[in-house]
A and B are shown apart, each in its own frame.
Chain A
Amino acid sequence: MDVNNPFALYKWQALFDARDIFIGGLITTLEVTIGALVLSILLGIIFGIAGVFPNKIIRVINRIYVEFFQNTPLVIQVIFIYNALPHLHIMLPVLLIGILGVGLYTGAYMAEVVRGGIMAVPKGQLEAAVSQGFSYWQAMWYIVLPQAKKVMLPAMANQTINLVKNTSVLAMIAGGDLMYQADSWSGSNMYYGPAYFVSGCCYWIICFALSKYINKLEKKAGV
């Protein structure tokens, strides 16, 4: 009877004994999250500005990047990076592959957020700044982006939630993140209940805190 109960007490005890595995996984997840977040925001700003750039070729490059990464699955991208790089004689630790894969994928969404934010700022702002002697980049950096920030921040935080959830893709390339540890630990002893519950709670706490933060930002922005 006890064996059939997925949440039997002895399974929780086994999980408690193996807590180091899960803590290690959580740390890996957080590392990937932070790395991928930095990468995706950088890419988002670069490609977001490219999306409103006067030069048509640069705008096309933005479209190619965004459409490609938004319309193919993250799983394919990460598995591709994981499998293809060794063929090109580039050896990366799996953590970096995760940061690269998730960062590139979320970067496409961030680029759309930044583009939308810039387009929400009236065009006259840029023109007025340029007429006052600002260069294009100065006007973008000092005039347009600070105004776009109010629109961008809630959407960016929303993408950050997706990013945290998407770091679980590392489980598919043995990345040692929380999802992978939960999957492999429970796969070896069949104690699925506690493993999934605990890892789910970890993701939930991170994402729920972020979504509360979004609510605060949205109130502040007056959306």
Chain B
Amino acid sequence: MSDLFQMNNFLFLMGGFKVTLEIGFFSIIFSVILGTLIGVARYLQLPIIGHIGGLYVDIVRNIPCLLCVLIARFMTPLPPTMSGILAMSVFTGAIMAEIVRGGINSVSKGQFEAALSQGLNRWQIVYHIILPQAYRNIIPPMVSQFTTVIKDSSFVWAVGTEELTGRGMILIGRYSDTVHLFVIMGCVALIYFVINYALSLLARWEHRRLAAKSF
């Protein structure tokens, strides 16, 4: 057992954890931006962009994450981590677009009309009136989607990108006995669990706060 708990093993695992966090962090940011842009484009019914956005959402929502990962790795010249970020951003962007659209639809139409009557143009209305209210409603589902991003980032191990899951599997390969297997997988699962549970607690807390605030 003692041969497992060594500094170099810990650093090896943490190196993978760093890649997981990188993929998770950038994918979350890019997918929120992408989702917001498409959600707004569909809301304003922009001529071509709105349709392309709708098509993109309909296609990507209905294919597996692993397919996105494979395409991004083998059909683009990007390095491993970047291809992981691309795949996760594209895959999650479609889901974010649906979440944002749901949030925008939950803002009553009178808000738009009132702002229009005050002389704001469409973009000002979206930026100052619609989106702030929409975001308030969709923070809980968005945060729970963030946990899904972190979980699904483990799919990039399928193309050999060494993130947390991958590094864990490599460690298991080095020892290959029952106790080590359980301990290593337990540690890896625990790391994921702590991050995701913290995020989902945040989502729940935010949900309660918003429920208390709404009127």
Contact = CB atoms under 8 A, between A and B. Distances in A.
Interface of A: 6, 67-68, 70-76, 79-80, 83-84, 87-88, 161, 164-169, 171-172, 179, 182-183, 186, 192-193, 196, 199-200, 203-204, 207-208, 211
Interface centre among A70, A161, A193 (most CB of B within 10 A): A70
Contacts of A75: 154-155, 157, 165
A76 B157 CA distance: 11
B13 interface: no
Interface string B94-129: 000000000000000000000000000000000000
Contact of B154 (A73, A83, A207): A73
B196 A83 contact: no
B71 interface: yes
B62 A72 contact: no
Contact of A83 (B152, B181, B200): B181
A68 B194 CA distance: 10
B202 interface: no
B192 A76 contact: yes
Per DSSP, chain B at the interface is helix
Interface of B: 58-59, 61-67, 70-71, 74-75, 147, 150-155, 157-158, 165, 168-169, 172, 178, 181-182, 185, 188-189, 192-193, 196-197, 200
B70 A169 contact: no
Nearest to B178: A87
Contacts of B58: 208
A171 B157 CA distance: 11
Contacts of A192: 70-71, 74-75
Given A73-B165, A168-B67, A84 B152 contact: no
A28 to B, nearest CB: 14
Given A71-B147, A71-B200, A196-B75, A165 B63 contact: yes
Contacts of B196: 70-72
A164 B147 CA distance: 20
A71 B63 contact: no
B22 to A, nearest CB: 16
B99 to A, nearest CB: 13
